[in-house]
């Protein structure tokens, strides 16, 4: 069974002459532990797809299922959105987006505490996660005192905090140099394999394409499967 199943998803902004179809009958299946990349030019609808799947934007039509459970069907959201995001989705951002006034440890623990885990338990588990991500020696550092790569590791820890079946990554390596970007990709792959989380990443970073299990190309709101060779032939996505 797919962790994520999207059927006929569409998103239309505006109406009449100003109508813009951002997602056009998108179908997508993602398995547990799969590392999926969404590539495509700017404005093609990649981020809109992530926003719709995580129910930050309301889709116009279609069906979204998580682990076989219907969470959205043709204009109707069938769950508590914030609870859904706390329990089922982790986010990794291009700019890391760590809470600047919390230490690395607290950033990870906060995600658990928002999901109802107690203070002591959350800090214990956060330390274990940072240890797993080999960044526990920086647990008490504030984000401003961490390098970009270190911040992204902490962000991955935060995304993993509640062991979600889905992790959405928005340009996870874009702000890192090649070496650090590669390390983050290896880490994401390890997380996907070992934690059985499906990771869907929007990326423009052609250097990292080879690291993904599955590639999807998005153009004018349409999603199609592609491979690394074809992606390279399309040129570096913009």
Count of residues engaged in binding another protein, rule: CB under 8 A:
35
Told to check if 129 binds another protein by CB under 8 A, we report no
Query: What's the chain look like in SS3?
Result: CCCEEEEEEEEEECCHHHCEEEEEEEEEEECCCCEEEEECCCCCCHHHHHHHHCCCCCCCEEEEEECCEEEEECCEECCCHHHHHHHHEEEECCCCCCCCCCCHHHHHHHHHHHCCCCHHHHHHHHHHHHHHCCCHHHCCCCHHHCCHHHHHHHHHHHHHCCCCCEEEEECCCCCCCHHHHHHHHHHHHHHHHHHCCEEEEECCCHHHHHHCCEEEEEECCEEEEECHHHHHHCCCCC
Told to check if 49 binds another protein by CB under 8 A, we report no
Told to check if 101 binds another protein by CB under 8 A, we report yes
Task: Report the site for another protein in 173-212 (rule: CB under 8 A).
Answer: 174-175
Least Å from the CB of residue 43 to another protein: 13
Told to check if 94 binds another protein by CB under 8 A, we report yes
Whole-angstrom Cα distance, residue 169 to residue 234? 22
Q: Which stretch binds another protein (CB under 8 A): 60-68, 102-110, 186-194, 208-216?
A: 102-110
Considering only residues 16, 100, 179, 235, which one is a binding residue for another protein as defined by CB under 8 A? Answer: 100
Told to check if 106 binds another protein by CB under 8 A, we report yes
Least Å from the CB of residue 37 to another protein: 16
Told to check if 109 binds another protein by CB under 8 A, we report yes
Least Å from the CB of residue 126 to another protein: 11
Told to check if 47 binds another protein by CB under 8 A, we report yes
Considering only residues 146, 170, 184, 198, which one is a binding residue for another protein as defined by CB under 8 A? Answer: 170
Q: Which stretch binds another protein (CB under 8 A): 17-25, 26-34, 60-68, 87-95?
A: 87-95
b/e 17-50 (16+ beta carbons within 10 angstroms → b): eeeebbbbebebbbebbbbbbbbbbeebbbbbbb
Told to check if 110 binds another protein by CB under 8 A, we report yes
Which residues of this chain interact with another protein, rule CB under 8 A?
Answer: 47, 50-51, 54, 56-57, 82-87, 91, 93-95, 97, 99-102, 106, 109-111, 113-115, 119, 142, 158, 170-171, 174-175
């Amino acid at each position: 069974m797919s962790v994520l199943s999207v059927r006929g998803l569409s998103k239309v902004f505006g109406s009449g002459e100003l109508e813009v179809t951002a997602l056009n009958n998108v179908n997508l299946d993602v398995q547990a532990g799969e590392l999926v990349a969404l590539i495509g030019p700017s404005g093609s609808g990649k981020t809109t797809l992530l926003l719709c799947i995580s129910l930050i934007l309301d889709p116009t039509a279609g069906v979204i299922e998580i682990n076989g459970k219907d969470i959205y069907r043709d204009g109707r959201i069938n769950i508590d959105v914030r609870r859904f995001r706390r329990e089922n989705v982790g986010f990794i951002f291009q700019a890391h987006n760590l809470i600047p006034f919390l230490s690395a440890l607290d950033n990870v623990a906060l995600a658990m505490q928002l999901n109802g885990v107690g203070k002591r338990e959350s800090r214990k588990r956060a330390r274990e996660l940072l240890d797993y991500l080999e960044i526990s020696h920086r647990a008490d550092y504030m984000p401003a005192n961490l390098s970009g790569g270190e911040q992204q590791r902490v962000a991955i820890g935060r995304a993993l905090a509640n062991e979600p079946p889905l992790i959405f990554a928005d340009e996870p390596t874009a702000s890192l140099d090649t070496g650090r970007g590669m390390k983050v990709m290896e880490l994401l792959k390890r997380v996907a394999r070992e934690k059985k989380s499906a990771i869907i990443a929007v990326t423009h970073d052609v250097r990292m394409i080879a690291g993904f299990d599955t590639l999807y190309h998005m153009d004018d709101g349409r999603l199609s499967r592609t491979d690394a060779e074809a992606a390279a032939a399309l040129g570096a996505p913009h």
